[in-house]
Amino acid sequence: MAETRIIKEVSYFEYKELIDRFKDRIKVNPHAYFRLSEMQRKVYKDETLIEILTGEKPALIGIQKNQNQVIFFSKKQGYLRLMFKITKENIEIVTFYITDTIPKI
């Protein structure tokens, strides 16, 4: 759990700049779906995750100890925690899941 601890908050401006730069180069790692039930897999498709990442305003943006970015989006059932890594070529969504709360930084 220590590797996924958020060590730094990122401003919305920095996040938006990053997303705009990679907007057409976002992919979802197949590993991202391993925590989901079959029903959730029908709801959260690659296109849906990319639309959330590029179109919704996050409640919290941060960098984890493992250097992955973490974004929390407010949803009816809690928060969608979405983790991605940045390479020279693209943004890759690594994993995501629903959580009840946003951690304190």
Tens of each residue's pLDDT in the chain, 105 residues: 588 889 999 999 999 999 999 999 999 998 888 877 777 777 888 999 999 999 999 999 999 999 999 999 999 889 999 999 999 999 999 999 889 999 887
Question: What residues have CB less than 8 Å from 14, skipping those under 6 apart?
Answer: 61
**7 neighbors 65 (Cβ within 8 angstroms):** yes
| pTM score, whole prediction | 0.89
Q: Under CATH, which architecture does the 2-99 domain have?
A: 2-Layer Sandwich (3.30)
What residue spans define the domains of the chain? Answer: 2-99
CA distance linking residue 31 with residue 20, whole number of Å: 24
HSE-up (13 A, CA, CB side) for residue 56: 19
CA distances from 99 to 7, 17, 23, 89 (A): 19, 26, 26, 30
Specify the pLDDT at position 81.
Answer: 93
